[in-house]
Amino acid sequence: MVLPADFRAAVRRGRRTATATAVYHRLPTDPEAPVRFGVIVSKAVGNAVTRNRVRRRLKALGRGLVDAGHRGEDVVIRVLPGDAQASWDSLSADMHAVLDPSGQGATR
């Protein structure tokens, strides 16, 4: 079960990485636990239909990482307004670059 305090902890204490479409907050957890995702989409991104489409796309990409065996962290994704127009390929590339186990994502 995911609690709001878990998301707050990831945002406050996690490692922050920014891309053109989102800010990722990553907090290490139990190495054996699967990765958990949270998504923050503000009204600045667009209307309800647009916000839900963006959220569903990011959840689908996250589900792919969970299925691939990504483990050991909580990830909160704060979507930036430019994400509404981003293609699936660019969202996927950003997420994989940031969450790459080798840590090659650009950190801020």
| DSSP states of 35-76 | PEEEEE--GGG-SHHHHHHHHHHHHHHHHHHHHTT-BSEEEE
Which domains does the chain possess? Answer: 4-98 (3.30.230.10)
Does the structure show a pLDDT above 90 at 4?
Answer: no
Mean pLDDT of the chain: 87
Residue 58 to residues 27, 30, 31, 32, Cα–Cα distance (Å): 18, 23, 23, 23
Q: What is the pLDDT of residues 13-63, one digit of tens each?
A: 999 999 888 999 999 999 999 899 999 999 999 999 999 999 999 999 999
Q: What pLDDT does residue 40 have?
A: 93
Does the structure show a pLDDT above 80 at 103?
Answer: no
Does the structure show a pLDDT above 70 at 79?
Answer: yes
Q: What pLDDT does residue 77 have?
A: 94
Does the structure show a pLDDT above 90 at 108?
Answer: no
Q: What pLDDT does residue 102 have?
A: 53
% pLDDT > 70, the chain: 92
Q: What pLDDT does residue 82 have?
A: 75
